[in-house]
Structure 1
Amino acid sequence: MPTHAHAALRALLHEAALPAALAEAATLSGSGPGLPSSFRVGAAAQASIAAAALAATEIHRRRGGLPQAVAVDQRHALAEFRSERHLRVGGKPPPDPWDALAGLYRCGDGGSVRLHTNFPHHRDGILALLGSIPPRRDAVAAALQQRGAAEFEAAAAEAGLCVAMLRDKVNWRAHPQATALRGQPPFILERIGDAPPVPLPPAADRPLAGLRVLEMTRIIAGPVAGRCLAAHGAEVLHVSAPHLPTIAALDMDTGRGKRGAQLDLRRVGEAARLETLLREADVFLQSFRPGALERLGFGPASAAAARPGIVYASLSAYGHLGPWSMRRGFDSLVQTVTGFNQDEADAADAPGNPKPLPCQALDHASGYLLALGAMVALMRRAEEGGSWLVRVSLGATAEWLRSLGRLPHGFDAPDPGQAEIADLLEEHDGARGRVAAIRHAAILTETPAGWHRPAPLPGRDAAEWI
């Protein structure tokens, strides 16, 4: 009998207009909830990772390589969906990336809001919005008792800050942004310009060898997409800026297989350097806040004009339509507003204790969906020509995960720790010491996926292609 993961995989391949027979080349092993959750996170992990791997095998075949099989085990896929938790440096976990003020707070009207304060400017902005209070949880809690949940969420959004009001599924469904997301596919592919076909390179030992990815992303989802493309052989150049905050532990996990440069696009010469890189890239991968790169001259239309034939892969929090299309957001916030936290609490028989999903499932799934969309666009470019825009949002991914259905006894599942996933780790010497990290969960028979270089320190590499 087909599993939910197989059904989800077939649906993704159909959405991508890839041959349905590709699904027959995939072995998805393991069953059950996998992690304590009422949602089918295991199916989402297997399907998204397998779909991206199958797209890579199809590119390899179209380049003249051998057809091949793909295997993704659920336990391994779920470990990769928590890869940042399993990272070890010198045998020890890295510092907790969560700021002490982050989390869920009760407001004066009985509602609740989740604050995301992991970046210093977001943290300082929220403290200022609350009346320049001291940076203590008790002070934040007391200040929020004087505010309404919806009012503070709106005020924070107006200030460019990251706050989400806790909603249940019913309240979210009634929201105009939910209406905008409803019916959207997990990824959107749109032709945005004319260009002659660009043939895929000749066959090589890895599916994406010879293809260049210019990446400007931060935190988890966007970097996971770049990590996935690097695992299948793409040359990925990650460009950050020296003035933007980052989280070292996440960089060490998601930066594997990439090179890392720094450019400050506020400077004319460095913006020109990025444009030079763009003109020689196949994929431009970005996850900056909506509108940020457009204002700097690197939005989709500008990129397609500068580099006809570009595949512009873009990640947002809530999608490109609706009243929240320009709103910033993170996985934890999207979970909160879309009802997942309340649904998990109800399923665990703890309605007064909102529960997050057991992993950053929206981030990780979105990363693989973005990589999938980019590879599909590369194949379209080879056949039809054109410049292409790939859109993925955490909000649409939340809709997709919810569409996979619920598990009636999902919280009976164990919550594996480091000892239980030790066999899935690989070790290498990184810029910060000996690193142990999760291997890629997709096993390809002819072109094994993986990373041949450790994550770089920010700005270690020159802003140029190899």
Structure 2
Amino acid sequence: MESASSLSAAALASLWQDAGLPGEALAHLRLSGSDPLLPSSFAVGAAAQASLAASALAAAALWQLRSGSWQPVAVDMRHALAEFRSERYLRVDGRPAPEFHDSIAGLYRCGDGGWVRLHTNFPHHRDGVLRLLGCAHERDAVAVALAQLRAEEVEREAAEAGLAVAAMRSFEAWDRHPQAQALRGWPPLTLERIGEAPPAAPPPLPDDAEAARPLSGLRVLDLTRIIAGPVAGRTLAAHGADVLLVTAAHLPAIAPLVIDTSRGKRSCQLDLRDAEDARTWHKLLHGADVVLQAYRPGALEGLGAGPAAAARARPGIVYVSLSAYGHAGPWAGRRGFDSLVQTATGFNHAEAEAGGGGAPRPLPAQVLDHAAGYLLAFGAMAALWRRAAEGGSWHVRVSLAQVGQWLRGMGRIPQGLAAPEQRFEDIGDLLMTLPSGFGELTVVRHAGQLAQTPARWVLPSVPLGTHAAEWLPRG
């Protein structure tokens, strides 16, 4: 197959062209490194580099739009892969972040010889799985219960109960599935104009040259949790956006992921079911440039917060949506996480086969989540560029399954599973320390290197709900 560096460049060029961005930008990008850098038979390094570089180059394109000049952008593959595992390398006051995986989460063999993966890191998902199986919260008890059942029946019954479970499939079995057929030919990201509005140039750059960055003065409402959506918000914050994370007290959260992905964001809490909080949300929406959300397709429409309603209320909005399996097809409304999508769409089976068989084998990172995060950020910035040039309201859509299809299309890496693991001790040159509302953090620096406006997080990670639900002045 082609070299990883040319694979990354080709993947990025395709994303860039599909988004309608200026081709001259590509001359200002430098990519370095090659696969395999992590043990995988897939081009995970190329996927990391291409998706992260797309977001960095889009920031440079917005900078050129606002300042009149291009700046060099560089992305090293080793650094990109480290950032794709940022939650693994997080340290709080010098210690590893607490374990957040539930004790029964993971893979189990079923009575028909198939496998299922349970995602039970949220308490309501855990409790629902235990009710479904009628067993205790013990790994051995879960294994005994599943040994009496068929994998795809467990998956179906769990989905009907609103739970997060996936049966393992091969690529061949996934390709026959109606959801795979619904996604066939889709790119990893779609960008659609959904409303009319006049061209809207970004606000003037700050007079302080040190404060001026590609997204200075632009506002993002971040309604996401876990990894993919929060990574997108973290990336937009790194390039200067005012990112306001909106959560609610009744929604479960995973503390280490909040710590890792909340860098650069302010954090408030609103319950959109409450009339007063809904009014506050609409006030925020009228002042926003971007809405970033990762609820299941259709989930926010009933609360008046879907893309069509947002475009009516705030012409010129850039609405960015993440889903697990895509916005069309029989699984459009199904709950899913990176590990489940890997299992359902064939990656765990394919990696096991590449390793000579045996138990299902996951990818060496939450590749679908992180790639989706950077593609969401890329899509948001591409739509902001298009909004300035053409006007309009825009809807950006990314799904984990589409990202998996994109990764699969990059081909396989011969002997890729023989690559060594990347340990914390191996990436000391890529780490930095930051203060936070949780203690001193050791984190991976952003891998998208912009020569004139280096990515950085001005605000520390803070506990959820720390800030008021209001915007900062644009100046």
Interval containing the TM-score (normalised by the shorter chain): over 0.9
Q: In the alignment, which residue of structure 2 is the partner of 1:16?
A: 19
Q: In the alignment, which residue of structure 2 is the partner of 1:415?
A: 421
Whether 1:229 and 2:236 are equivalent positions in the alignment is yes
5 Å-filtered alignment, 1:175-186, equals 175-186=177-188
Q: CA deviation at 1:445?
A: 0.8
Q: In the alignment, which residue of structure 1 is the partner of 2:81?
A: 78
- Structure 2 vs 1, CA of residues 412 and 352 (structure 1 numbering), >3 Å: closer, same or farther? closer
Q: CA deviation at 1:308?
A: 1.2
Partners of 1:218 and 1:288 within 8 A in 2? no
Q: 1:198 aligns with which of 172, 197, 200?
A: 200
Q: In the alignment, which residue of structure 2 is the partner of 1:383?
A: 389
Measure, in 2, the Cα distance between the counterparts of 1:298 and 1:45.
Answer: 31
Q: In the alignment, which residue of structure 2 is the partner of 1:406?
A: 412
5 Å-filtered alignment, 1:162-311, equals 162-204=164-206, 205-311=212-318
Q: In the alignment, which residue of structure 2 is the partner of 1:364?
A: 370
Q: In the alignment, which residue of structure 2 is the partner of 1:49?
A: 52
SS at match of 1:108: coil
Measure, in 1, the Cα distance between the counterparts of 2:298 and 2:11.
Answer: 32
SS at match of 1:365: helix
Q: In the alignment, which residue of structure 2 is the partner of 1:128?
A: 131
Partners of 1:60 and 1:203 within 8 A in 2? no
Which amino acid letter does the alignment assign opposite residue 44 of structure 2? V
Which amino acid letter does the alignment assign opposite residue 195 of structure 2? G
Measure, in 1, the Cα distance between the counterparts of 2:96 and 2:230.
Answer: 20
Q: CA deviation at 1:312?
A: 0.4
Measure, in 1, the Cα distance between the counterparts of 2:298 and 2:120.
Answer: 21
Whether 1:328 and 2:335 are equivalent positions in the alignment is yes
Moved more, 180-189 or 20-29: 20-29
Q: In the alignment, which residue of structure 2 is the partner of 1:373?
A: 379
Partners of 1:252 and 1:455 within 8 A in 2? yes
Name segments (4+ residues, structure 1) moved above 6 Å.
none
Alignment RMSD, CA only?
1.1
Q: Which runs of 5+ in 1 are unaligned?
A: none
Measure, in 2, the Cα distance between the counterparts of 1:14 and 1:449.
Answer: 24
What per-residue deviation string (whole Å, max 9, x for no partner) do you get for residues 97-143 of structure 1? 11101011111121111000000000000111112x21111111111
Measure, in 1, the Cα distance between the counterparts of 2:24 and 2:393.
Answer: 27
Which amino acid letter does the alignment assign opposite residue 374 of structure 2? Y
SS at match of 2:435: strand
Q: 2:360 aligns with which of 335, 354, 359?
A: 354
SS at match of 1:378: helix
Whether 1:436 and 2:438 are equivalent positions in the alignment is no
Q: 1:115 aligns with which of 118, 124, 129?
A: 118
What per-residue deviation string (whole Å, max 9, x for no partner) do you get for residues 317-354 of structure 1? 000111000001000000001110011111111x2211
Measure, in 2, the Cα distance between the counterparts of 1:3 and 1:386.
Answer: 34
Q: CA deviation at 1:164?
A: 0.3
Partners of 1:369 and 1:392 within 8 A in 2? yes
Q: CA deviation at 1:65?
A: 4.1
Measure, in 1, the Cα distance between the counterparts of 2:308 and 2:293.
Answer: 14
Measure, in 1, the Cα distance between the counterparts of 2:18 and 2:121.
Answer: 35
Partners of 2:35 and 2:46 within 8 A in 1? no
Which amino acid letter does the alignment assign opposite residue 374 of structure 1? A
- Sequence identity of aligned pairs in percent? 62
What per-residue deviation string (whole Å, max 9, x for no partner) do you get for residues 66-93 of structure 1? 2111111111100000000000001111
Measure, in 2, the Cα distance between the counterparts of 1:65 and 1:86.
Answer: 38
Moved more, 202-211 or 254-263: 202-211
Q: Which runs of 5+ in 2 are unaligned?
A: 207-211
TM norm structure 1: 0.98
SS at match of 2:433: strand
Which amino acid letter does the alignment assign opposite residue 19 of structure 1? P
